Amino acid sequence: MSVAPSNDDFTKRKLWGGRFTGSTDPIMHAFNESLSYDKRMWAQDIRGSQAYARALIGCQILTEEECDQIVKGLALVGEEWKNGTFQVQPDDEDIHTANERRLKELIGTVAGKLHTGRSRNDQVATDMRLWLMDEAQALAALLKEFIQVIVSRARAEIDALMPGYTHLQRAQPIRWSHLLLSHASYLVADYQRLLDLQPRISVLPLGSGPLAGNPFAGLDRDAIAKELGFETVGTNSMHGVSDRDFIAETLMWASLTMVHISKLAEDFIIYSSAEFGFVQLSDAYSTGSSIMPQKKNPDSLELLRGKSGRIFGDMAGFMMTLKGIPSTYNKDLQEDKEPLFDAVDTIRRSLQVATGVLSTMTIFPEKMRAALTPDMLATDLADYLVRKGIPFRETHHISGSAVRMSEERKCQLSDLTLEDLKTLSPAFEEDVVKVWSMEESVERRNATGGTSRRAVEEQCDRLEQLIASTSNKRVRVE
């Protein structure tokens, strides 16, 4: 004679336990569980479950009263998570089983109706998309703030001139602001890419069931999507439970954005060294040496540079997991959460630190200017002759000969006399002295995208317009 399970036995059952009679190996349980890290999605899991409960009224699975019980019970579960009083039990595998188990304890057997037609496969996909929709909005706001700090500095420090470098060799004079805005241009593209990604994140999987769809007539997936703030509804249930491309894309976006932050960090690490002395980090973003008291290390920038490798590792690892998975849900997909959570946490902190570094950094315009040398105007000398009607390939050779002459005489290029220059080309005239002005050199670069004052101000205007014209706001329906 069989004995019906007690209520306590029921609450301890795993969601998938009806087919099994033996207990799970404790090592396997620890290997299998994800609650230790997916509990951060508790709010999204509760929101999704509340929306699903309301949808079950239309399927005649729940009455209005039962739905009200479940929605209010889930709110109580959420309060426990929020207040830190939620008690995790040994059999809680993940955030979904933990919340449903606690709901059952609070409101009784009616809680068992909530999972009707729903699988953890579409539930976890919904939770992750909801979580990432919120996080993407926050990341876009941080990125926008970082860009605004850079543009603000570029406007305020537009008079500072410095060497521009190629191959880390002095090349041509530029405005310090022009360098700053080159980094802002990368970041604006990152900002736009993140916004472009959001519609592909905002696709509702709930209602896909384990893989074949929801079997109950009357389930209004469009209403669920509207309530939860999704832009669209997934149109293929097999795809809905297995698609993690939105995570791969987010990790790719994060990797590229961190490469750009790393490039910025590398520039300022170099420029903050004693050999350059162009910039100095504030004490808030520097550390000292344990043995050399004179040192001020740019640890914040070095960590930003290092974190880029970490995020790329998150992406590469997940792509290797993703590549060999057959159709629909497989447990391998549990490996999506930790790299995503780590990447989002890391890039959030990185953007905050980078913004702090840039907003508090001191520049030394006099040291920047002292690094400007007349040999950097060799191209300007060639351009001078172009304006006299000589083809550039010929003027380049003449300018190179002038550089060689100055090196042989161990003098600056600007120390060559008009008579010296005329031995190289009769086209040189008295007005050649204007070539040796650094201010004139940068102002001559007046085409769009150049380093003249007008062109730099135009860049500032354009970047501000770009980030102002795109909104990262997502309507969230509670």
Percent over 70 (pLDDT), the chain: 92
Whether 437 has a pLDDT exceeding 80, the answer reads yes
Tens-digit pLDDT profile for residues 205-246: 999 999 999 999 999 999 999 999 999 999 999 999 999 999
Q: Does the CA dihedral 63-66-68-70 come out positive or negative?
A: negative
Q: Catalytic residue at 167?
A: yes
- Note whether 245 and 338 are same-domain residues: yes
Q: What angle do CA 470, 476, 477 make, to 5 degrees?
A: 145
Q: Determine the pLDDT at residue 311.
A: 97
Domain count, the chain: 3
Distance, CA of 14 to CA of 101 (rounded, Å): 9
Distance, CA of 330 to CA of 340 (rounded, Å): 18
Tens-digit pLDDT profile for residues 356-406: 999 999 999 999 999 999 999 999 999 999 999 999 999 999 999 999 999
Q: Determine the pLDDT at residue 418.
A: 95
Tens-digit pLDDT profile for residues 446-464: 999 999 999 999 999 999 9
- Note whether 139 and 204 are same-domain residues: yes
CA distances from 447 to 160, 221, 442, 443 (A): 19, 53, 11, 10
Q: How far is CA 229 from its chain centroid?
A: 22
3-class DSSP assignment, residue 173: strand
Q: Catalytic residue at 289?
A: yes
Tens-digit pLDDT profile for residues 2-46: 333 444 444 445 554 555 455 667 887 788 788 888 999 999 999
Distance, CA of 160 to CA of 180 (rounded, Å): 12
Give which of 353, 359, 348 is closest to 139, Cα–Cα. Answer: 348
Phi-psi region of 277 (alpha: psi -120 to 50; beta: other; left: phi over 0): left
Two tokens, residue 477:
């329906």
| Per annotation, catalytic residue among 2, 6, 23, 167 | 167
471 within a domain of the structure (yes/no): no
Q: Determine the pLDDT at residue 467.
A: 84
Q: Determine the pLDDT at residue 25.
A: 76
User: Whole domain around residue 179: which residue ranges?
Assistant: 121-211+231-368
The CATH number of residue 73's host domain is 1.10.275.10
- Note whether 168 and 49 are same-domain residues: no
> 475 φ, ψ to 5°?
-70, 125
3-class DSSP assignment, residue 88: coil
Contact in structure between 197 and 136 (CB atoms under 8 Å): yes
Distance, CA of 183 to CA of 259 (rounded, Å): 11
4 within a domain of the structure (yes/no): no
Instruction: Give me the helix-helix angle, 95-107 and 120-156, nearest 10°.
Output: 120
272 within a domain of the structure (yes/no): yes
What is the average pLDDT across 324-350?
94
Number of helical (H) and strand (E) elements in the chain, helices listed first: 19, 6
Does residue 437 or residue 16 have the better pLDDT?
437
Per-residue confidence band for 78, with pLDDT thresholds at 50, 70 and 90: very high
Of 64, 83, 116, which closes a domain? 116
Whether 444 has a pLDDT exceeding 90, the answer reads yes
- Note whether 46 and 156 are same-domain residues: no
| Per annotation, catalytic residue among 36, 273, 282, 289 | 289
Rg of the chain over all Cα atoms, to the nearest angstrom: 31
Instruction: Give me the helix-helix angle, 176-201 and 120-156, nearest 10°.
Output: 160
The average confidence (pLDDT) of the chain is 91
What is the average pLDDT across 397-425?
94
Question: DSSP per residue over 213-264, as a string?
Answer: ---STT--HHHHHHHHT-SEE-S-HHHHHH--HHHHHHHHHHHHHHHHHHHH
- Note whether 89 and 126 are same-domain residues: no
- Note whether 147 and 274 are same-domain residues: yes
Q: Determine the pLDDT at residue 91.
A: 87
Q: Determine the pLDDT at residue 364.
A: 97
The CATH number of residue 410's host domain is 1.10.40.30
What is the average pLDDT across 317-340?
93
Of 72, 101, 116, which closes a domain? 116
Two tokens, residue 307:
């974190």
- Note whether 199 and 71 are same-domain residues: no
Supply the pTM of this predicted model: 0.89
> 416 φ, ψ to 5°?
-65, 135
Q: Determine the pLDDT at residue 1.
A: 36
385 within a domain of the structure (yes/no): yes
